Structure 1
């Protein structure tokens, strides 16, 4: 799973892209890594009709056997996650402008940045949990598409089509989980630097 993404847009731009209320979020654009705060889009629950930009930490508390925060969720049938997914108010959109993976042989590894050219700011599917001190989030993952598989990742973030945002935020949980599929390769781009 990626451990770095960029969100190079202001809170106002992000809110406009997702028809959300930015409130007083101070986000002006930066990179996001595990343990750092970043804005996510949350809704008012079942209806998903009102959306809000809220700061959350990347990385939810681990399951009972774990010892590190969980940044990516893969097994959506796990009892640990299924209870969360059943509650629409615990799902979120994670705004992104590009995300990275490293690939290549040892000593010759290179960073690659993936984006969705048709969407300046796109969204990962995310889930919310309450951390020890702060609310936090994790990114839902799935099998890699052909483009990402070429660069060796074993999983990729679930990138949501704009028409699926409402289902992820407020739909019945089985319909939301059905969205966990690889994003089409032909709709993505890859480069050695994040898009400007």
Structure 2
């Protein structure tokens, strides 16, 4: 389950990737570490236009989740997600520059699990997006994003699932398509187009 990502692209980079939008469009700070419960930039359709705004990552959890926020949409047929997936206006684009999965086993020295980062192939645009859904709520809007079967690149670290990654050409279909068209995008991203990122200290 992805529970950490970054979004360090500028507003101009967002516009080049996803087209024009309204909203808070000046002095967007870098979001170096976005964890569940933290604010994150999101693009959504409202009144026929795209709008950039900040939402909290994680839907308020149902009683079965003991109140914990639900950050990843795993079961697309679950009643919990039905209304958000059915209505195009409740879908959103979550801009990302890299995301993290944690190793299954702790490091033998530190006794802690290690972060492994993933992003687009070197030489390509580092900005991409997750397929997200959002809902209004007390304290502001909340968002979560879809997951799907992991590809080989992510699956080597986290075999259960990976986020649903949208190409720019797919973003409009995700936002405007009917439920069947939108959910058809929930596929593993091609291994050839992404990589494991080795960070240097």
TM-score w.r.t. length of structure 2: 0.88
Residues 22-44 of structure 1: CA deviation (Å, up to 9, x unaligned) = 53344221221111111111013
Contact kept? 1:11, 1:22, Cα under 8 Å: no
Q: Give the whole-Å Cα distance in 2 for the aligned partners of 1:6 and 1:161.
A: 17
Deviation at 1:120, TM superposition (A): 2.1
1:44 to 12, 32, 46: 46
Aligned twin of 1:28: 29
User: Where do 4+ consecutive residues of structure 1 move more than 4 Å?
Assistant: none
Does the C-alpha gap of structure 1 residues 138 and 170 become closer, same or farther in structure 2, counting only changes over 3 Å?
same
Q: CA contact under 8 A between 2:58 and 2:70: conserved in structure 1?
A: yes
Structure 2 unaligned regions, length at least 5:
none
Counterpart in 2 of 1:157? 163
Which of 104, 115, 134 matches 1:111? 115
User: What TM-score comes out, normalization by structure 1 length?
Assistant: 0.90
Whole-angstrom distance in 2 between the partners of 1:56 and 1:188: 26
Runs of at least 5 residues in structure 1 that lack an aligned partner in the other structure: none
For 2:114 and 2:134, the matched residues in 1 are separated by: 31
CA distance in 2, matches of 1:84, 1:24: 24
Distance (Å, rounded) in 2 between the aligned partners of 1:20 and 1:33:
27
Measured on the aligned residues, the alpha-carbon RMSD in Å equals: 1.8
How far apart are the structure 1 equivalents of 2:35 and 2:11? Answer: 18
Count of aligned residue pairs for this structure pair: 191
Query: Do structure 1's residue 136 and structure 2's residue 137 form an aligned pair?
Result: no
State the match for 1:58 in structure 2: 57
CA deviations 1:146-191 (Å, max 9, x no partner) are 1111113411000012211111001111100111010011110112
